[in-house]
Structures are given as C-alpha cells and as structure tokens.
Chains A and B, each alone.
Chain A
C-alpha cells in the first residue's frame, strides 16, 4: 500500500519551481526625437494641470468656496468651475465615466494604446522617475555598470541618496497635490507647513507618497504588464485597421550589418533595412523587442520609433522602419500595393456617436437642470386626521432644495380635485393658505406641511395632490405629486 514514489518519476507540475519570473530590471536609454518631444510636452501638461489646478480660483460669491475644482466632502458638494454638483447628482460622474471609457476605446481603434504610451499616470510618473534616475546616475550603460559593481563607494552612496531623495520629493508633492483638491488649497498649504492641518491630510499624503514612490520607482512596467487590466481588454477590442507601433518587417527583413547590406545592395540583391543595432530595445521602457511583433507588454510610447529613425537617418535610409501601422498595410506593400489608412470605419463612428450622445445628454441635462426642487413624504402614522368640523387633514414632510447661490423666498401650493388649503408649521403666509418660506442659498429646508380638505367637499376616496413650490422673486416653479388619503 505504501508504495514509495521516486520524485523524479512525478510528471505533474513541479511544485518547487518559482511561480513567477523574477523582474528583469530595465535600463531605458535616453533618446531624442518627435515622439520623445510629444511625451515631454504631454508630461509637462499633465503634471502641470495636476499640481496647479487646485490653486486656480473661481469667484462664486461671498461665503462660497473660491476654488475652481473642489471636492467638498463635509458639505457633500463638488465644484468644477461654473458647475456645482449635489450628492444626488453623481450620475453625471457615471456619464463622465462612460465618455472616458468609450474615448479610450476610440483612441484604441484609431491609434492603439495612446493612453498607455502618453497619458496614463503610471507612464507619466515612471517617465519622470526615469528622467531623474538618468540625471543622477547617468545613461543606460553607466547605470548597468553601476548596478553590477557591488562596491559601495561614497560617490555611489551619495548618488543613490540623491536619487531617492528627489524621487521622494516628487512622490510627496504628488500626495500633497491630491489632498489640495479636498480643501481650500492655499489655506491647506499654510496649515500643512505649520503642522496645523488635520491628521487625515497627512495620512493621505503619506499613502500617496508611498504609492507614487513604489509604483513609479520600483514596479514601473510591472504595473502595466501584470496589474493593469487594460492590456487584456485592449487586445480584445482592437481590430485589423487599428494603427499600432509596428516594426515594418516587409522593409526590415532580412537583417544585416550596414557594411554587408551595402555590398549586397551593390550586387542588386534584396536586403532589409534593419541593421540589428538593438537601439529600439535599448530605449524601450518595458524592455521588449518591438521586432517580435505586437506584444502585451508594449505600451506603445513610440520611443523605439525615435530610436530607429535616428539610426536610419545616420545610415542614410528612409525613416519610419518602425512606425504607426498595421498588418494589412505590411501585406499590401509586400504585394506591391499602396498602403491604406482607414480612420473612419464602423467602430470609430459608433464610438464617436456614443461619446457625442452621452456628452450631449449630459450637457443638456446640466444646462436645463432646475436649481429648485421639492421632495414630499406623506406622514405614515396617522395617514389622515379628522378635524372637529368634519374636514380631513393630511400631513407631509416636505424637503425643499435651493441649489442656487442666493436665498429664495418661496410659496407652497397644493392642487387636487377638491379645494385644498395648506399650512406650514411655523411659517407665515403671503395670503391666507399660501405659506411663504425662506430657504437659504445652497441648502435644503425640511418643513411640516398640513393640507386640509373642507368638510363640505370631502373626497370619497384618496385623491392625487400636486405640490407647487414657486420662487416668488423669480417665478421658478418645481413640482411633486403625492396622495391625499381619506380614512
């Protein structure tokens, strides 16, 4: 029964092997060119917006926050320039998320992973951290050499200390900017500096300092390859017409050295333009070889295009051996046909239409939304009260919302199939049976509304009632319906 099995005979998966491959450290080389310039420009723009936006002011009048973009959690308000959103209006964010997702799909069907390569925070901050690393420790070869030599000289230690200090400064500033979106920025900066700020602000700065430092300084391309779901979704959403950063193997193969290529060309033989210089690999921030075709790891940052263009210029061959292209065009060129680029196709049209529709609906609802609203809740116990003269009274809890930036004077009326009189507990009346209430700016008021049906006109069963709340100054009206219950 107890037959001993030799471990070497076991055929199942080896349990002792590593579950994951070890991270191979990537040493991207510096590069200059069109795409690098675009990336620098977008980095300055993105980081500039992120770090400086909280300091932009927007005048909303006295007593209201003057910050252009502010998430005011204690008062449950979101401010974006001229827009102010209340908690019950978060569906605008749903619309925003739909637009963002479809915009991502649209980018993908036009030019591949534009988001990943140029705009994703992970890419932008990693790029910045690489720039710091290069500035302190030197370019690719120097960094590789320094990492290999184990000796910790004073110079090396100070280099490392400097690099991590700058990294942490950037990370800290990143976390610091985050909390500024949740409070008045200049005030909070003053409080942070004098250690008067709330503890939660320091905790959030700490958390985001840590995530920025770890994600951009250490995990880098691992985040894109292993943590992010987008590469998988992207691969499933792409089609054969989408332009991606592509090695044009029709032009590149067969690879030879510069000298040999010249010799072979002189003999009239076909030679590829790729000279196997590995510059595209050296500059790649995810450490892959684009010449192996489209890969999950490739974030399509375009730096290999710059690297290859530089080499092609040097050896006197046409640029864009690597460029934004697709397999269809590679095959067409091989067959001697001119390449075709189809930006307008069914999916790009549909994506654009969805963006236009959702965006349009959002803009329409935002432009036409009412700044005055009424919610009515019928009393449950008792639902109806008989008064001494035989008339019937129902009580309602009414919540009035004044979303505007000024106090309102409003009147409440109730309309139904029978003549109804209204009274609000504690409120004065403009004319008899027309309660008048003041609702302060940017707030809600809860009132107790009593509605009475006269004894001689008592309805026989429950009837619908329509409540009108009218801004006496502006004539703005909001309505709500409920029932008037007869016992």
Chain B
C-alpha cells in the first residue's frame, strides 16, 4: 500500500516495492483490503475462543473457559444419547424370554447384530472371529458342546464360565492320570488306543482291547459315561464323535490322559450387562450348532 518507496513500472502501470535482488524488482501488489480485514477479524474472533473454550495451559491444569466445555464431557453426553437411543430396543431384548427371541425376526436380528460386535470384542481372541475355535478352544459352529448346547446352557456358560473362579462356574476337569501316578505308561497307551477305537479310528498293532476296556471302565466312565458318550454336567466330551478339542491322534491322546486338561472359559457376568449376555447366547446359538 506504500508506493512512495518504489519506482513506477511502465509495463504494468504499477509501482514496485523498492526491494531489489540481482536486478529483479518486486511489483507492489498488496493484498486486497477485504482479505486483510478478514484476517484481522479472525484474530479478534480467536480471542472469543480463549474466553469461551479451554485454551491456555497452566502449571497443573488449564483455563476452562466460560461454559466449562470439554471434549471428554461432550463425548460422554453423546455416548449417553446413544445408549438412550438403543435403550428401548435393548429393553425389549432384556424383557423377552430367551426361547422367544429367535422366533421374532426383529429381536433375532438385533440380538445377532449386538452379539456379533460383542463377540468380536470379547470372544474372538480365543474362539476366532467366526467362532470357528482352535486347538483347546471349542468351535461354536458345530453341534458338539462340552457344557450343553441349549440356549439356557450356552447362556449359563457365558455368564459364569468354566473353571473361571466364579462361584457358579462349571467345574470338573480332565485328571492327569500319568502325572499323578494313577496309570502306568503302558496302560495310558492302551487306553488311548481304546478311546480311538470308540470313534472308529484305527488302533496300534498288538493293542489289547479287553485291557483297554477294563482300564476305561475303572478310570474314565465316571465322567465320560458308559461307552464314552460324554456328560455335559461335568464338561466331559463325547469320545465317540468326530470332533476333538485337542486332537485325536495317539500322541495327543496320550498327552491328554497323562497331563490332564483344564481349559478356562472366563465368567462374563459383571463384565457384560444381562441383556448383552442374552444377545451373546442367542448369537452363539444361531451360529448353527445350537440345540
């Protein structure tokens, strides 16, 4: 805006700023007035921000602003709003009898949607994102259940867990017959082959079936039942089917019998609210294996 320093440039009809670098001169093209005014206005506006919002750091805290606004508090409000929006639907879910949820397409869709997200957050680390399980962690899509596959049984397992330390948790474990000296090494090999024979798997040459049956009857029937059909009260798996939590090869069976097994399912009561646990039970049941 000051053109008295420079000289007049006849080509453009403008003055120069008077600055010169290696013979190159700068034309004086000042910012438009509206731009400068807008710039000053933004500075004035920013002072308003200092007053209204938290702005200046102090030694141990910061200025809080006139209205005490904070992003954390506003997030809390938004989350509370979200809960109140979901509230009605989740209330309906909580009120519905467990057995009726799958009969109502809207409730089933809600339970499955809710169950899927909660499953992803809490269960997927062990059971896998699709509930397909892994060695030692049951596949939740199949029809083989350690602690029972009805809706009520699934919900109970989720609520209290297995060997979780919760007072109502499922208890009972596979004993370490070898480590504790109950069975000798050759007896363990024999009974392992007997178990393989139960589900139609081939057995080792020279294995004594009668001896195996005797050892099984004396040590295993108490939990696994006559013929090894399993017992969901004790969490004892069915040994006659095609599904094996740890594996059905002889070496794995020998390891299982001699070292014992006691996988832990945590209790979710207290960590997830009752309606969410209900949704979880329906979700797991609807994966396909539910009884």
Residues of A within 8 A of B (CB): 1-2, 4-7, 10, 379-382, 385-390, 393, 395, 425-426, 445-446, 448, 450
* Given A4-B10, A7-B13: A448 in contact with B241 (beta carbons within 8 A): no
CB of B23 within 8 A of CB of A7, answer no
* Given A385-B139, A390-B242, A395-B288: A4 in contact with B108 (beta carbons within 8 A): no
| Residue in A5, A389, A425 whose beta carbon sits within 8 Å of that of B108 in the complex | A425
Cα of A379 to Cα of B130 in the assembled complex, Å: 9
Cα of A304 to Cα of B126 in the assembled complex, Å: 84
| CB<8 Å pairs between A and B, sample of 23 | A2-B23, A5-B11, A7-B10, A381-B130, A381-B132, A382-B130, A382-B132, A382-B139, A382-B141, A385-B141, A385-B142, A386-B242, A386-B243, A387-B144, A388-B143, A388-B144, A393-B141, A393-B142, A395-B287, A425-B288, A426-B105, A446-B109, A450-B288
Is B225 at the interface (CB under 8 A from chain A)? no
- A4: B residues at CB distance < 8 A: 10-11
- A388: B residues at CB distance < 8 A: 142-144, 238, 241-243
Is B171 at the interface (CB under 8 A from chain A)? no
Is B72 at the interface (CB under 8 A from chain A)? no
Within 8 A of A (CB), among B227-242: 238, 241-242
In the complex, per-residue mask of B234-271: 1 if CB is within 8 Å of any chain A CB, else 0: 00001001110000000000000000000000000000
A387, chain B: closest CB distance, angstroms: 5
- B131: A residues at CB distance < 8 A: 382
- A390: B residues at CB distance < 8 A: 242
| Residue in A389, A393, A445 whose beta carbon sits within 8 Å of that of B288 in the complex | A393
Cα of A426 to Cα of B111 in the assembled complex, Å: 12
CB of A385 within 8 A of CB of B128, answer no
Is B18 at the interface (CB under 8 A from chain A)? no
B255, chain A: closest CB distance, angstroms: 22
Cα of A99 to Cα of B257 in the assembled complex, Å: 77
- B143: A residues at CB distance < 8 A: 387-388
CB of A395 within 8 A of CB of B102, answer no
> Interface residue count for B (Cβ, 8 Å)?
29
A305, chain B: closest CB distance, angstroms: 51
A395, chain B: closest CB distance, angstroms: 5
Residues of B within 8 A of A (CB): 10-11, 13, 23, 102-105, 108-109, 112, 128-132, 139, 141-144, 238, 241-243, 286-289
Cβ-closest 9 pairs across A and B: A381-B130, A388-B241, A382-B132, A426-B102, A385-B141, A388-B144, A390-B242, A425-B286, A450-B288
* Given A2-B23, A426-B108: A386 in contact with B103 (beta carbons within 8 A): no
Cα of A438 to Cα of B129 in the assembled complex, Å: 31
Cα of A481 to Cα of B104 in the assembled complex, Å: 28
Inter-chain residue pair count (beta carbon < 8 A): 70
| Residue in A2, A426, A446 whose beta carbon sits within 8 Å of that of B286 in the complex | A426
Cα of A387 to Cα of B238 in the assembled complex, Å: 13
CB of A1 within 8 A of CB of B142, answer no
B44, chain A: closest CB distance, angstroms: 30
- B23: A residues at CB distance < 8 A: 1-2
CB of A395 within 8 A of CB of B141, answer yes
| Residue in B105, B142, B287 whose beta carbon sits within 8 Å of that of A387 in the complex | B142
Cα of A51 to Cα of B187 in the assembled complex, Å: 94
Query: Chain A CB within 10 Å — which of B13, B102, B143 has the most?
Result: B143
Cα of A450 to Cα of B288 in the assembled complex, Å: 7
Cα of A395 to Cα of B283 in the assembled complex, Å: 14
Query: Chain B CB within 10 Å — which of A5, A10, A387, A389 has the most?
Result: A387
- A445: B residues at CB distance < 8 A: 105
CB of A389 within 8 A of CB of B129, answer no
Query: Chain A CB within 10 Å — which of B13, B105, B142, B241 has the most?
Result: B105
Residue in chain B with minimal CB distance to A426 = B102
CB of A385 within 8 A of CB of B108, answer no
B238, chain A: closest CB distance, angstroms: 7
Residue in chain B with minimal CB distance to A382 = B132
Residue in chain A with minimal CB distance to B144 = A388
- B129: A residues at CB distance < 8 A: 381
Cα of A2 to Cα of B289 in the assembled complex, Å: 90
Cα of A395 to Cα of B128 in the assembled complex, Å: 16
B110, chain A: closest CB distance, angstroms: 12
* Given A395-B287, A426-B102, A446-B109: A6 in contact with B139 (beta carbons within 8 A): no
- B11: A residues at CB distance < 8 A: 4-5, 7, 10
- B130: A residues at CB distance < 8 A: 379-382
Residue in chain A with minimal CB distance to B112 = A448
- A386: B residues at CB distance < 8 A: 142, 242-243
Cα of A34 to Cα of B164 in the assembled complex, Å: 94
A407, chain B: closest CB distance, angstroms: 13
A484, chain B: closest CB distance, angstroms: 14
- A395: B residues at CB distance < 8 A: 141, 287-288
Cα of A2 to Cα of B241 in the assembled complex, Å: 98
- A381: B residues at CB distance < 8 A: 128-130, 132
Residue in chain B with minimal CB distance to A455 = B242
Query: Chain A CB within 10 Å — which of B13, B142, B286, B288 has the most?
Result: B288
Residue in chain B with minimal CB distance to A390 = B242
Cα of A143 to Cα of B263 in the assembled complex, Å: 95
- B142: A residues at CB distance < 8 A: 385-388, 393
B151, chain A: closest CB distance, angstroms: 12
